[in-house]
Structure 1
């Protein structure tokens, strides 16, 4: 891996704090940043969920160097693909070419708010594929009229377009989504260090394209405090991505993870202040064929000490490895 990124977790901090965090990440020397796009946190203890696109607009003005990216936006339920295309083109202009549009098939947790029900994974991927086609056509400057299986578009056009459209990433968690990413995306997005995803991405056209992974960690000089915080706020991540997209509310995630103890979480998430543990976890992504890795520091109130540690200790260790 050659690039290490910072994650703005909208589930664990308010909008002004998130902008402060990404400014700090730029100053600390991170190579890029990503942001989650939710209407709910996974667990009540996380406590936040501001509108990611407003935060991105502010971040584009508050920073000068660090790239920005959605990780990820669903363009096929609460957002219509035409609206996503307009938002993404505007962000690319505001950031002067620093934006990448990460897309995914969605989570019930966020998309249930429209009241349309939650279809099967196959239908969600069909909707994503159709949405990407609409977004690409709008990025090309066309008037777009389409009456597809899932979306109707009538004489849509983007009037403010960047010279270079935002690259599109597609999130993958299995063979169908990684194949879709290989065919339609400029980069792969994933949260698990799985070689089967990168290899299938390659088989379907992804060879040579970036692959971005994501790794949660919980930095704290007091390891016990880090383990407790990771368990309190991030145990949901151990469910895996066959389960997580189906759960509708934070209470569902709390119930699904009630059996998990703190040390079980610590077995999967590096906790404490040992950079070697993070380097080892990051290496799993490198071995799986990922080129980039976005780090998540668990705990909205614990970003400043993490960013200082990242600047002085963690990023040098990751780059040396």
Structure 2
């Protein structure tokens, strides 16, 4: 059966029309039963046409369309990854200074038999949860909570897994008054000095310092249609051209896609998504993320804290060298 609740992006309109036709024919068959015409062959042809068009469309997405896919409301979020990848997850709240920030969730759990500390941005799935989680835009207390959990990870020799999905840190007055930039800087510094392996995956948007504060890791992975940038395309367009409508041009110029960033050696691996994006088959996308994270984590088995820090240091220094030489 077709999914009538699916949200289609603007560029997916031809797919939406085909799926609507399939749904209409399925409805006719359901109403008429055995007495009605056999529409099975016609439905099968339309399904194949829809599948072929979807595959062709997603094989050549430009950076702006990838940005739209990365922001898709039905894309798997942090809680989906916790549910399917982390056993016995126990959330730990608060920064022990001001309050708890629901935009960043973290805690302890077991990842495929291994005890880990898990951190990530949560955007929420509906109006109520998006407001609760502030659309994944963390305040200073969120980053200070992350620092506290990374301290604990090092104390108990636990790897750290982070899931990045945010348009950026929250720019509100209260956040700035409580030291937003300082909190982001210290969280980034704690990532870099951590004596246990840290694996980060950009699952949707990786926006600005709000993302890198949880992604200065030993290995940085990206889902195929996610984005990672120093500023949103709209923000960049507003600054460069004073016109946010030129976000498409900005996305292309900024090289926000996983493919561009892998070529620049800013990330370590791309995780392929199911045809049509992670939102069309969330469980398969989550399984692929888990497989790649497990593979990346295995590369640091048996290394001392000094070796882990040195590898992380060398990773980020090599980015600077490659960009200077490129």
Same-fold status (TM-score > 0.5): no
Answer with 1 or 2: which has the greater Rg.
2
Higher relative contact order (CA 8 A, sep 6+): 1
What is the TM-score when the length of structure 1 is the normalising length?
0.32
What is the TM-score when the length of structure 2 is the normalising length?
0.32
